Amino acid sequence: MSNNQTNALKKEILERVVRAFFTSDFEEYVRLIPYDMRPKGSEVPFRCCIYKERAILKERIKAELGFALEDDIEHKLLSTYAKEALERTKPEKDVLTVLDAACVGCVPSRIYVTDLCQGCVARPCQSACKFGAIEMVDGRSKIDGSKCKNCKMCMKACPYNAIVKLAVPCEDACPVGAINKNQKNITRIDFDTCITCGKCVAACPFGAVYEKSQIVDVMKNIVNEEKTVIAMIAPSIAGQFNCSIFQLKSAMKQAGFDDVVEVAQGADITTMTEAKEFEERMKDGAPFMTTSCCAGYNNLVKTSLKDIQKFKSNTGTPLYYTAEIVKEKYPDCVAVFISPCVAKRKEVQENPNVDYLLTYPELDALFKGRDIAVEECEPEQFEVESSKQGRNYGVSGGVAGAVVSVLKDKDLAKPYIVNGITKDTIKDLKQFAKNCECPDCNLIEVMACEGGCIGGNESILPQKDAKKKIKELVEESKDIKG
């Protein structure tokens, strides 16, 4: 999560929702949040007037209460939404939503000739275009949008850098073309195509694309004395807070969780199972195998990369195995996954052993809303100690490295790392599937986010800092038991 104004707003709203929950009147305190954030006479930093500021804040709060923003009922009070959030038995299906009022309706994405065009005699842009989309008008190049294929060859050919791409950030970031505009030029998400990678959330500079939070659902269960609430923390969390994961466990128990389990424990099972599967596939003559722990990649395979399904490992994700362990120990518990990953929300929906997901910023808001200083908490050890390989799963290359480390023949594997799902890496994967070959490799690790899970949309600290903290934990951890 980058440190910008839209994310600062999100953090403030989350913390205020948490504080409101632990008051005597949650519904009324939620209703007052826009007025508390923008009191009469205060500065209006983003909009034309204080009333529009409050209106958009109301919409942002609705998303943090877990509701869709597309079908707004204008006269419905925030207190009513808060009441419905308390009464809700399960979260809404689609994990993303768009705040229409914050979406400015960016101009359509296209290749455009700027005023820097010199109308040069060589016409390199015309020569480079294979589709006849460029002609000279009044001494300057002009692109015919009906013929242009957005191949960017004219951009590369122009010696003056006079041709640019006008990008719509959310559309440009989406690797699968799931972002489109409606008739009012407002962003809409095609959920049949969407892989919930979260890149659109991170890309939008207006904070118009939102995740529907489940923080109220989790807090409801935390205060219910009849419920046992267990937190399962993703390996990348070790690099997110200014404390050790052992202090983090203590802080989370102070926040109301009954126990905290490392998903790195499940990662160790994934490592051993995937290594065995890889050895068997290579023995049977398979050209290559891809990993299966990334939810964004798994969603991609289901929606638009079905040809590579037969090459994808059948091994469960670390969350899958951890949730099985948790439910076996606490059969009637409420299991909450703590993650930086938007795509994991969909995996959680599909896994009967996992009930809810909290992101790192939501967990941080829970700490701050309950006045818990994580760096001052006493460290508490985990009942089962995870390996260094499992704790390194959140860093790009960590999964493949873990699998190789437990192979009987280390030379059997030739890893290839897909460090982030983009339009280009999708093309590569499609080519591998089509040719039934990955040149000079046979074990492909695929991570939707650049850098691995530490690059997830809902991460808190910069990757450099996160990687350093994880490395410190990994170095003091033990090797996986093969």
Quote the number of domains for the chain: 4
CA 89 to chain centre: 24
The verdict on pTM exceeding 0.85 is yes
| Domain annotation covers residue 480 | no
In the predicted model, what is the mean pLDDT of the chain? 94
- Percent of the chain predicted with pLDDT > 90: 83
Residues 197 and 261 in one domain: no
Residues 281 and 350 in one domain: yes
Residues 19 and 69 in one domain: yes
| Domain annotation covers residue 203 | yes
Residues 379 and 448 in one domain: yes
> Which structural domain, as residue segments, surrounds residue 175?
93-105+171-212
| Domain annotation covers residue 147 | yes
pLDDT at 18 over 60: yes
Residue among 424, 427, 447 nearest 435 (CA)? 427
Q: What is the CATH number of the domain that holds 176?
A: 3.30.70.20
Residues 387 and 416 in one domain: yes
Residues 346 and 433 in one domain: yes
Pairing of strands 229-233, 259-262: parallel
Confidence of residue 2 (pLDDT cuts 50, 70, 90): low
Residues 162 and 186 in one domain: no
User: Lowest mean pLDDT: which of 149-158, 183-192, 333-342?
Assistant: 183-192
CA 212 to chain centre: 12
Q: What angle do CA 466, 472, 477 make, to 5 degrees?
A: 125
* pLDDT tens by residue, 131-184: 999 999 998 999 998 899 889 999 999 999 999 988 888 988 999 999 988 777
Residues 23 and 126 in one domain: no
Torsion of CA 88, 92, 93, 98, to 10 degrees: 180
* pLDDT tens by residue, 46-97: 778 899 899 999 999 999 999 999 877 778 999 999 999 999 999 998 999 9
**Tokens coding 6:** 């839209």
Helix 264-283 with 318-329: angle, nearest 10 deg:
130
Which has more confidence, 4 or 239? 239
Helical spans, DSSP H, in 106-192: 124-128, 153-157, 169-173
| Domain annotation covers residue 482 | no
**What is the predicted pLDDT for the residue at 41?**
85
Residues 206 and 283 in one domain: no
Residues 160 and 203 in one domain: no
Residues 176 and 208 in one domain: yes
